[in-house]
Amino acid sequence: MTIRIGSIAPDFTQQSTEGSISFHEWIGNSWAVLFSHPKDFTPVCTTELGTAAKLKPEFDKRNVKVLAVSVDDVDSHKRWTADIEETQKTKLNYPILGDADRKVATLYDMIHPEANDTLTVRSVFIIDPNKKVRATFTYPASTGRHFDEVLRVIDSLQLTDSHSVATPANWTQGNDVVILPSIQDPDVIKQKFPKGHTVLKPYLRITPQPNK
């Protein structure tokens, strides 16, 4: 199954290190990040899960819940947790789904046979409170993810949901943004962007981030 931006995230019920999770119910009115790792007791995955745990205050600030998954079972995750906490100097503060039956991996197309026909690649799905998939990332097993980029994308999605702007290349929180080309009425522009804007081209208009 191909998961596309804008589609409803597939629902599932699966056991985790924090008990049974019914995905849509668990998300509730929050945003969610579902991310897969290839295998427990492996070096890159250990650093990734530790990094996500350290960033929990940042995810909380954005009303985001984090959920990890691999094709290992819950008992394996629980044994591995001690290693993550010891080596990464943090408490694991979010659930890891057991997926030995590959139910979630199959639903979310996390196993890419050309890379490995048994283990998940490093997938990331950002899901909004309406349970829609808003962004996806896919990395090979050899490349650890940059979790600051996950937060940056969430910041962009949440900003552009509430203001008539888009975020340019390398944008980070607090930087200038661009006015949507669909906004053309000068009075509307004045009302929406009281800080003013700079016209570089008719289609490229720069304005300070509106909620800062």
Cα atoms found within 13 Å of the Cα of residue 102, Cβ hemisphere only:
11
Contact status, residue 16 vs residue 98, Cβ threshold 8 Å: yes
DSSP symbols for 85-150: HHHHTS---S-EEE-TT-HHHHHTT---TTT-SSS--EEEEEE-TT-BEEEEEEE-TTS---HHHH
Catalytic residue among 9, 32, 33, 45: 45
Distance of alpha carbon 74 from alpha carbon 207, whole angstroms? 48
Is 45 marked active-site?
yes
Residue (of 48, 108, 49, 105) closest to 72 by Cα position: 105
Distance of alpha carbon 9 from alpha carbon 183, whole angstroms? 30
Q: Enumerate the active-site residues.
A: 45
